[in-house]
Structure formats: C-alpha cells, structure tokens
Chain A
Amino acid sequence: MRSTFHGIELAKRSLFAHTAWMNTTGHNISNANTPGYSRQVVNLVASRPIEAPGFSKSGMPGQLGMGVEYESIKRVRERFLDEQYWNANRSLGEWEIQADTLTKLEKVFNEPSDSGIRTVLDNFWKSWSELSKDPENVTSRKIVRENAMALMDAFNETSKKMTDMQNDLARSVTVKADHLNTLTDQVAQLNYEIYRIEGLGDNANDLRDQRDLLIDELSKMVNVTVREEDNGYVVTGGGIELVNGRESTQTTAADWEGAYNGNALSSGEMFGTIKSRDVLVNDYLSQLNELANTMANGEVTITIPSGSILPEGTVLNDITYSGTNRLLTSDLTVTVKGLNGLHQLGYTFTKPAQKGEVFFTSKDGGPITAGSIRLNPNIEKDPNLIASSMRVESKPEGDVAVKGNNTLALLMSQLKESSFKFNPIGSNNGITKGTIDDYYRSILGQLGVESKEALRQQENNSLLVDQVEGRRQSVSGVSLDEEMSNLIKFQHAYGAAARFMTTIDQNLDKVINSMGVVGR
C-alpha cells in the first residue's frame, strides 16, 4: 500500500537531483577556464523501488517507481591521456632548454657577420701579409699588434660569454630544484587531503584536478613516473622518490647532478639544463680552447727558405743550429709548435737583435685557453719585438736584424692555409688536422646542425604536447554550449517536477477540503 504523500516525496527527490545537476553545471561554467579543471557530471540513478520481493510485499500489481536520486559527482578524465601528456611534456622541457641554449650560443658566435671571430682572425692573417710588404715600417707592426689584440679580445670575450652561460645554467639548476620542492610539497599535501575526503566515500574531484595540474608541471621538469596507491600518488622523478603519500622528499641541485651522472635523470628541463651546461656549452668552449691553444702551440709544418739564418741554439728536427750551420743553404721543411714556435725562429728589431719571444702567452701562467690567451705583454708594449725577419748581420755592436727580410712575416701569413695538428680529445670536433679556419668553420657547422635539430625537436614535441592536450580537452574540457543545453534540460525537468508536486498538492487539496461535503 503506497503512502498518500508518495508523490510529494518523489517530486522532492526530483527537485533535489536536478538542483544538484544545475549546481554542477554552474560549477562547470564557472571553471570553464580554470587550468587543469575537468568537467564534472552527476550520476543520476532511479531510486530503488519500495516493494522488494518478500513476505511483506503487498498484493498490489507492479513496481511503482520511487523517483530519482544522485549517486555521485564525478570528474570526466582519462588517466591514459594524462600519462601520454606527461611523457610528451618531459621531452618538450628537455628540448626547449637545449634549443634555447644553442640559440644563445649562435648569438655568442654571431656568424655570419663582420664582427665575429672569423673577421678578426682574417684581419690578423692579413696584417701579417701587410707586414710582409713593408717589414721595415713600424706602422705595419702596430697593425699586426692591434689585430692580434683584437683577436685575443674576441677569444676572451667569447669564452667569457660561454662561462657566464654555464654559471647561469648552474644557477638555474638550483632554482629549478627549489621550485620542484615546492611542487612536491603541494602534491604531498593534496595526497593527504584527498585521502581524508575519499576515505568518507566522496570523490575529491577538484583536489584531484589540482594534483594532476601539479604533476603536469612536474612532468616538464624531470622524467616523472606516477603510481596511484591507497595513500595517494607515489611520484618518482629522475630515479628519486619525490612524493609518497603525505611525505615529500626535499631535493637539492646536488641530488639532481647525481641523478644526471647516474643516468637516472634522463629527460625534462632539469636534464636539459644540466646537459646544456656540461655537454653543449662545455663542448663549444673546449673546442674554442683547442682552437686558441693550437694556434699558439699546435704542430704545423713550414718551409724555411734558404738564406735564412736561424737563431743561435735553435733545435729543429733534432739538429742544433749553432755557429756557421745557422745559415741555411737549402730550403728546410720542419714542424714547429704553432705561432709561438715560429715566432721564436725570427729576430726582433732590438739592438742587438734578439730571437723572437713567444707570441701568445696565458694570462694566468697556466695552459693557453680561449679565456686566458693574450698577446705577449712585452710585444704589446713594444711592437719592435714582433719578429718579421729571419736574417741577421754580424756587426761590431752585435747582431742586427736585416729589416728588409720579410720571411717570417710571409711564413706567418702562410699559416692561414697551413694544416695544424689538433687534439681531438675533450670535444666532439673530429678534426685532427686542418687549418685554423677549417676548425673554426667546423665549430659553426656543428653548432648549426645541433641547433637546427634542437629547434626541430622542440617544435615536434610542442606539437605532440598540444595534440595530447587537445585530446584531454576533448574529454575533460568544459563546453559552454553543452553546459547551457544541460542547464535548459535540467531547468525544464525541474519545472516539470515542481508542476508534478503542484498536481499532487491539488489532488490532496481535493481530498481534504472538497470531499465529504456533499449537500452542504
């Protein structure tokens, strides 16, 4: 036997259920543009009918419906797409940083231009050729000196810019580690809140959205894996367990360096930053160092023409030149150690003539690098110490350099097209023998290839991330059109339920107030 007020209850349930839906729709509309938000739906189910099979079942036919109720409010989301997003995002992070670094390196080298190392290098060789035409003239010497100093400045400046970049990248690792700690703290906090709410049987939709948004951000920084356990997400990044339930691990830059060196950190911005510093910038810096050092000290073969007089005590090809055999009677092909070695075979214009000093020295006395190379300070002070002549005349007051002899200046200018021996260790440049220009060009060639590849990878991964994000938006994004039509749908249902209640009310009114008054 059903209750008199059955209809009222039924209508009330309908009003409640549809109110819940309309509120959820309102929530969806409000969060249409909230980052990480997934649309929510209300699970409506028909209420359980009252007359279950059993002894107390009345004899009335049929199961009378008991109206509607909502079971749960859920967010619409696909975990699979999240995983895809996280995978694509970490590659994007890695390549973004690398592309950025390589683009900056291109700016540092600034080629092709009229102000890069190539230009000053060309000017340096040209000044020796100019000197060979006019070796007597101090002006030509000063031009050689100025161009040598310009070249040194270019080397020093480029090296400094790269070292600065390395320092910036190192700082960036620390900043990123700090940021990562903030993120993992928040994830752990959310883990706990979600655990508490869902322990009571509800879905913590909005908190889950926030947690996933944090993982989105994390996934760009390091290669994360996420496992869902009873106590929440267990997040591992670069081999380090970052979050487990309520607990988060605080990491430092050193931890990430360790993970990078142990190959556990294999992707993401953190990886890209450390790789940029230790591999990319480092490689180009060491190539530039090799270039500077080889120019100063690298082995190169030259031919000294006959008639030249070697400085007393010179040792070439294991032969010591002293006394009368200093005068070469035939052309002599020998290997010397770079511009420094060659310069020491000539004579300065001092009185008496001295053998040339080393041309390049190191600022700090250590090995010559692009950062430490400088023109010999003595030559910087006195351009007459630039040797251009390879011939002396004995005079009563001592040896005097033959000023018109331009052999050394010619040999120096010839070094432009001479093959130097390069040390391939410590860099990715495979050239073991080649001209200074060749080596420099190969640096730029490699930079171009790497930079283009990084830009391409960045572009591809960005497309991939966008594509996955599009899929996610397709599933979880709020469509206002949809929400509006839902709103109308539920508004209509709400109105109808209210009308239904009114009908029942009128029925009851009839029964209570209008019945049993016949003949009044």
Chain B
Amino acid sequence: MALRVTPGMMHRQMVRNMHSNLTRMDNRQNVLSTGMKLNKASDDPVGITYSLRYRSDLSINEQYQRNADTAKSWLDYTDTVLTQVNDMSQRAYELLTQAVNGTNPQEAMNACAIELKQIYEQVVSLGNTQMNDKYIFNGQLTDVQPYDLTTAGTQKTDNMSIQYRFAEGAGLNINITGNEVFGEPKAGDNLFLVLQQLQDSLRTGNQDAARSELDNLKSRLVKVNEARSTIGAKINRIDLISTRLTDLELNLTDMQAKTEDADMAETILKVKQDESVYQASLATGARIIQTSLLDYLR
C-alpha cells in the first residue's frame, strides 16, 4: 500500500525544510558578515589549530620585528659613534704627523697638544656615549659609566655581550665593548693612553717619543675600522633578518587568510542560491498546506 500522507506529515516536513534552509542561511550570513569561514573550533577542527598557530606566529613576528628595529637603531647609533671615534683618531694622526716633522717650534707643538687634549676629552665622552640612558660601550653594566676623564686609559669595561633575539634560535650580540674599540687597559695602542702620552711628549718637545706613538695610533685606527666593519656586518644581518621577518609576516598573513577567511564571491553566490531555495520552499509549502478537500465541498 502506498504511504498514507497526512497534513501533519506535510506540515512537519515543511517546517523542517524551512528550518534547515534558515539554519544554512544563518550560517552563511554569519560567514558573510564576519568575512571568516572559521568562526568557532567546530567549523574546522584541523583549521583551528593552524589558525591559532598562524596567529601566534604573527604576533611573535611583530615582536621580533620590533626587536630588529631596536637593534638596528642601537647598531646605527654605535656606527655613528665609531665614525666619530675614527674621525677623531684620524685628526690626531694628522696632527701628529704635522707635529713631528722636526721643523715645528715648541709653540706649535703646544698648540697641537692643546688640540690633542680636546680630542682626548671628546674621545672619552664618546666612550661614555649613552643611548636611552644606557652606556653602550660598557657591556652589560649599562648603568655604570665606563670611562673617567683622568683614568680612562687604565679602565676595563665589562666584556659581557647583550643579546637580542629575532627568531627562534636566532640571537645576535648587538654591543661592542669599550675595550674592543678604544683598546685594552694599559695596552700600547689604547687610544686614551696614546692621546695622553702624545700630549705629554709634545708638551715636553720629545719628538721621538711622539713619533713612536705613530704605530700605536695606526694600529688603533685599524682596529676601530675593524669594529666599524663588524657593526656594519651586523647591520646588514639585521636588515636581512628584517626582510625575512617581513616576508614571513606576508606568508603567515596569507596562510591565515586561507585558513580563516571566506571566499566572498563564492559565499555571496551561495547566499543568493540559498535565498532562492528558501523562497521556493516557502512558495511550494504555502501552496500545499493551504489546499484541502474543504475548498471544493459545497
């Protein structure tokens, strides 16, 4: 026997279809209005773990980029200071070669000594350079002034390095110690000592002693330049890291979008489709449940 169909069944079926159509439309509207296909964990249980990972990675990437920016400005600043140290040393070298050519009177040498004194003071002040209230040449003792005006030549700076991190397992020491730049305490080519001794030699007119410092000064100049190139290399590395972090950010954003974001064109199309299905179901439903035998009985 054919299935007996009662209005109750049809009514129930219609309500059910209407309900499921509406549920589908509601979900689709939600996707459309949030722009995301992943709104809760059950929307895509695998996707959610990736989504959380991309979000975390993006978040820490932002921090790493900030770290790289800080490191860059620290290194740039160090580079500027080193350039000045280099200029000062060059100037001292020029003065020295002029002073010891054997033809200068004592007055001229005194004048040189006065300028050397200025240079010395300037170099000591460069050694005490601060960035954000931190002494940049004193290792980890950033709150301790590394050099005194009187005893700079014999002072030892802290030799511990300061590390910044820019990625998992990728750290970089961003500081250079005063002893590396200006020379170990009491060493022959310690810039402070050289400058002090030159002043003394020139004041006393001891040209030989002054001449003997030439090599020390030269060796220091080479080392300052070495330090500059080290810093330069680090700056290059930071630039590379920054580029990589920016690339990574792009990739991560892209992958996050693929996991989370809805395809708008497709969604809109489907919403339209859902709409027409819903309207059709309403139209047929209304027509079916309205008619009954009663309409035709006299």
- The chain A residues found within 8 Å of chain B, CB to CB, are 32-33, 102-103, 106-107, 109, 111-112, 118-119, 121-123, 125-126, 129-130, 132-134, 136-137, 307, 391, 393, 402-406, 410, 413-414, 416-417, 437, 440-442, 444-445, 447-449, 451-452, 455, 466, 469-470, 473-475, 477-482, 484-485, 488
With A112-B48, A441-B49, A445-B46 as known contacts, state yes or no: A474 contacts B3, CB within 8 Å: yes
Residues of B158-176 at the interface with A, using a CB-CB cut-off of 8 Å, are 158, 160, 162-165, 168, 171
Asked if B6 lies at the interface with its beta carbon under 8 angstroms from chain A, I say yes
User: 22 A-B Cβ contacts within 8 A?
Assistant: A32-B8, A112-B51, A118-B56, A126-B60, A132-B163, A402-B140, A404-B138, A404-B158, A417-B168, A437-B52, A441-B52, A451-B40, A452-B45, A474-B4, A474-B5, A475-B4, A477-B9, A478-B7, A479-B4, A480-B292, A481-B7, A482-B6
The 5 A-B pairs of least Cβ separation, nearest first, read A448-B45, A448-B41, A404-B142, A477-B6, A451-B42
* Bound Cα distance A440, B168 (Å): 19
* Bound Cα distance A481, B43 (Å): 45
Interface size bucket, B side? Answer: 35 or more
Q: Are B165 and A478 in contact (CB under 8 A)?
A: no
How distant is A515 from chain B, measured CB to nearest CB, in Å?
42
Asked if B67 lies at the interface with its beta carbon under 8 angstroms from chain A, I say yes
Partner of B55, one of A118, A130, A404: A118
How distant is A34 from chain B, measured CB to nearest CB, in Å?
10
User: Besides the contacts A447-B42, A473-B9, what 10 more A-B pairs have beta carbons closer than 8 Å?
Assistant: A102-B42, A111-B41, A112-B38, A126-B59, A404-B139, A441-B48, A442-B49, A445-B45, A478-B8, A488-B297
* Bound Cα distance A466, B44 (Å): 28
* Bound Cα distance A324, B234 (Å): 35
Chain B residue at smallest Cβ distance from A107: B40
How distant is B59 from chain A, measured CB to nearest CB, in Å?
4
Residues of B31-68 at the interface with A, using a CB-CB cut-off of 8 Å, are 38, 40-46, 48-49, 51-53, 55-56, 59-60, 62-64, 66-67
Q: Are B164 and A132 in contact (CB under 8 A)?
A: yes
* Bound Cα distance A452, B6 (Å): 35
With A133-B70, A136-B142 as known contacts, state yes or no: A466 contacts B49, CB within 8 Å: no
Partner of B165, one of A121, A410, A469, A488: A410
Asked if B293 lies at the interface with its beta carbon under 8 angstroms from chain A, I say yes
Q: Are B162 and A406 in contact (CB under 8 A)?
A: yes
Chain B residue at smallest Cβ distance from A393: B141
With A417-B168, A441-B53, A484-B297 as known contacts, state yes or no: A455 contacts B42, CB within 8 Å: yes
With A118-B56, A136-B134 as known contacts, state yes or no: A485 contacts B293, CB within 8 Å: yes
Partner of B48, one of A103, A111, A134, A474: A111
Which B residues lie within 8 Å of A437 (CB)? 52-53, 56
